[in-house]
Structure 1
Amino acid sequence: MLKVKCHFGERSDSRIKHSRFWSSSPRCRPWRTLPLAGSFGEAGQSDVFFLLLSGLFAGLAFNSYTPGRIFFLVPLFYLFITKNKTKILPFLISFIILTMPLSFYLIRNPDIRVNQQSFLTNNSVSITNKFSYLGQNIVKTALMFNVRGDVNGRHNYPLKSALNPLIGILFLVGLIVGIHQRQNKTNQLFLIYFIISLIPTLLTYPHENPHMLRTFTVIPSIVYFIVLGLQWLTKFIPNQYRKISIYIVFMLLILSAIYEIRTYFYYQNQVFKQAFEIKKDISQVIEKDSL
């Protein structure tokens, strides 16, 4: 649903253009979902190729939209919990090589967007207010999945929950199961993936939340918990009804997909163009956003 183009990719402020906007279009965001490609599948094997590949994807994620810069923590965490600490080096080699240019650039030209968006770096905000903001963000983000979604028409059909009722229930069940069975290494991996995905949103000002675009990278962990919830629920189905239950689930998933397609192509289509309208002079918008 997030077919949002970068309209300000050619801005004159080079610090913004090169460190954020050039890569914020959806075509670059899949790199934030791929750092596990090597570490999850092959971390226990001797072939370091997959670890180098994982570092490559983590580096591409780092070079994408700002929240992607923390996703190298996910494969690192997995290597630690699977006791593959000696295999961190191949991962870090490819990751560091790919991230060095942007890292050196940001050292000389700090990304002002982070300071603009995060209350954590604002010294004028008291500790009490920071905790208050964090609490508000936790509540708003939690409700975003099943109750009250993003109001911004560029990210979502205004106020629609991120997940429809069927998928939302499966997600909640899977999340509860994952927390309950947290000793499972795969559950640990996707729980930390889920938490890391939410950090950028939780540290921004509450008036901008819920923010579906900023939590885009939570999708892989959501899919995992949906499947985990479905798998857990099937344990309660008697064997003689297993076959028909598969057909029922399949039909429900098709209806769920139709529901989402209808929402996007019919309802959100009506507000999508208006959401990108600029009602002020473009120079005023750029100047305000650059402050």
Structure 2
Amino acid sequence: LAGLALGLGLHAYTGYRVMPFVALLVLGYAALVQRWPVATFAGRTALYSGGAVLIGLPVVIFALQHPADYNARTVQTLILAAPVDNAVKVQQLWENLQKHVLMFTVSGDMNGRHNLPGAPMLDPLSGGLVVFGLGLVVLRARDWRSVLLLAWAGAALASGIVTLAFEAPTAVRTIAITPVLAILAGLGLVVLLDRFVALVTVSRVVIRWRATALAAAMGVLTIGWIGLTNLDTFFNRQMNDSGTWAAFSPGQTMIAKTALDNRGQYETILGSATLTPSVEAAYLVPDLQTTLQVFDPARDLPYRGRGPAFVYLEAEHDQALADEVARFYPDAQRLPGGPPGAAEIINGFRLDPVVLDDHRGGRAHYRGADGVVVERQETQPVWEPTSAPVALPAEVSWQAALALETTGEYGFRAPPGFELRLDDAEIASGDTGTRVRLARGTHSLALTGTVKPGGPASLDWRPPGASGWSPVADRALYTPPNGGVGLQVALAPLPQVGDPPEERVDPVVAHYFHISPFPQPNLNPRLWMAEWVGMLDAPTTGTYEFDLDHAGHSALWLDQALVMSDLNTATARLGGTVFLTAGRHAIRVRYEKTEEDGGAWIDLYWAPPGAQRSIVPGSVLYPPPPEVLGPAE
């Protein structure tokens, strides 16, 4: 049975691999100290080895045929194989040893898939019994059974001690120690109860059977308390812990379940790059993969479709983007994305058609010839002789968010008597057309003028690829949220040659680049740069604190003055203080990914006067004025 059990262990985690050999060595030790006859030792060894090989044979064959694959993960996680100095390796091994010894009763595995993050691996009572049982085993260290337990425990712990320092302590790699812990706890409990019976019956005042019954009841209560404590840990504390939730792919699962529960009843599901595509979705809804897409703020905010659509954004990496979705669609249904009573791990939104329709078009403000004022939402800046809601001539102010799908040359032509402003810059007036270059994404549009009696009037455009003029399409116009729409970002490989291959309007400077930020499938540079430019609207006059949390190199300029930079040196965070007057200031942020390995992220923080540190929100960020290319015919 021992051989069969240990052979079965080979099919489990890598920590079990050495156990058959540990048991074989202890078997030899037992034969020596107990002076087994050679025939007895040979028979037991053959029986043990045969059982282990019989059950573990598939794994053994694979290991012999594919040694590189079999050992790949082990080699990948070994401290000894890491490209660091030996002194560093020794220090990491020593720290790992301490962490793994203390993980049972002091501070345990931080991974929510293995444990209640940071909590001791054992409940207090089990931990105490294990320590007591270990003491008993050490006192009988020459007994072959003690040697087996100590060798087993040492080999099991070594599987975690010699691997990645930043993951220590790790419960999964040391999972082979579980039987030893159970034996030590049981041994400690039995010996304590036995000593209790002996102590209370030494004077013969208490009858032995009564003492034994009392000890049995104490044992049952102890085991019951341990069981209830662990049930509470597993099904209450751990189930409602945000760290545990985050470790079990909640976002990927939510996306897959949403697709499964709403099969055929939604337009698309958008998620953080860390959430989609995913193995969970491929398994649960293999036929709906085309409806699951990575959230692209330049393409999906505002949402261009008719809905319903779902958006799932990670709180850890994309909270700033989630705040922007909530700013654009404050009336969208919020979907729970975390354990009860805890902070959201996933920000979920349901964008129903009625919500999307409420945010299409623009805000129109009319003042008629008779002084009557009307404000309403309209789909397009197009006026027929009888469409104005007030007496003509009427003063009109029409504002919208202009959502563009393509970076390129756009022509605009304002109706007679009107002035068009894009991103707060005057573009066209009268009936003269103007060509401008605009990046894809969201821009602010403002049209002001006078609607006069007579023929129809409209704001016309000529987008890239169009041959003639037409009214600005309603699918490109959305009711703008209060404030800005973001900065214009240019992306380019390093070293930079020629014009940037990608430009867009980015709502915030707060990104974790889980995948390449370049949309072209044939362009995925390992080294690249991103530069955001535009205007920052300071809400009040005073001293502002700024800092950049990032991997790589970055810099910040305000009003053409350098505030902070590590473009030539490496540091984890940059900080700077600057005095700003209320109003808009030119801002430029540059980020460079200069190492092929490692992650890429950048977060721009500020602390306005009297306020706490937070991500600079999109409501105070504005794109630069469009590049005017000349008149449009």
Measured against the shorter chain, the TM-score band is: 0.7 to 0.9
Q: Deviations over 1:60-119 (max 9, x none)?
A: 322432222211123202320221642434444454561442122333645321122111
TM-score in terms of structure 2 length? 0.35
Query: How many residue pairs get matched?
Result: 234
Q: Quote the residue 1:205 is aligned against.
A: 164
Superposition pairs for residues 234-245 of structure 1, below 5 Å? Answer: 234-237=193-196, 238=199, 239=201, 240=206, 241-245=211-215
Stretch moving more, 170-179 or 67-76: 67-76
Matched, 1:263 2:252: no
Distance in 1 between residues matched to 2:99 and 2:233, nearest whole Å:
22
The secondary structure found in structure 1 opposite 2:187 is: helix
Q: Deviations over 1:150-203 (max 9, x none)?
A: 111111111111111111111001001101111222111111111111111011
Higher share of residues assigned helix: 1
Higher normalized contact order (CA 8 Å, seq sep 6+, divided by chain length): 1
Stretch moving more, 64-73 or 165-174: 64-73
Alpha-carbon RMSD: 2.5
Residue 125 of structure 1, aligned match among 69, 72, 84: 84
Residue 115 of structure 1, aligned match among 75, 82, 91: 75
> What fraction of aligned residue pairs are identical, expressed as a percent?
24
Matched, 1:70 2:29: no
Superposition pairs for residues 1-291 of structure 1, below 5 Å? Answer: 37-38=1-2, 54=3, 56-83=4-31, 85-87=41-43, 88-93=45-50, 95-96=52-53, 98=57, 99-107=59-67, 109=69, 111-122=71-82, 124-237=83-196, 238=199, 239=201, 240=206, 241-271=211-241, 272-277=244-249, 280=274, 281-282=276-277
Higher share of residues assigned strand: 2
Distance in 2 between residues matched to 1:89 and 1:215, nearest whole Å:
28
Q: Deviations over 1:10-41 (max 9, x none)?
A: xxxxxxxxxxxxxxxxxxxxxxxxxxx33xxx
Structure 2 unpaired stretches of 5+: 32-39, 253-271, 279-513, 516-596, 599-633
Change (3 A) 1:155 1:188: same
Distance in 2 between residues matched to 1:65 and 1:110, nearest whole Å:
12
8 Å CA contact 2:15–2:175 kept in 1: the answer is no
Distance in 1 between residues matched to 2:9 and 2:222, nearest whole Å:
34
Distance in 2 between residues matched to 1:91 and 1:249, nearest whole Å:
34
Q: Deviations over 1:263-288 (max 9, x none)?
A: 11011112343322266155769xx9
Distance in 2 between residues matched to 1:140 and 1:119, nearest whole Å:
15
Distance in 2 between residues matched to 1:110 and 1:235, nearest whole Å:
47
Distance in 2 between residues matched to 1:247 and 1:96, nearest whole Å:
43
Task: Return the letter of the residue paired with 2:239.
Answer: N
Cα offset, 1:125, TM superposition: 2.3
Change (3 A) 1:79 1:260: same
Q: Deviations over 1:39-72 (max 9, x none)?
A: xxxxxxxxxxxxxxx1x44333224322222111
TM-score in terms of structure 1 length? 0.72
Distance in 2 between residues matched to 1:183 and 1:176, nearest whole Å:
13
Q: Highest CA radius of gyration, 1 or 2?
A: 2
Cα offset, 1:208, TM superposition: 0.3
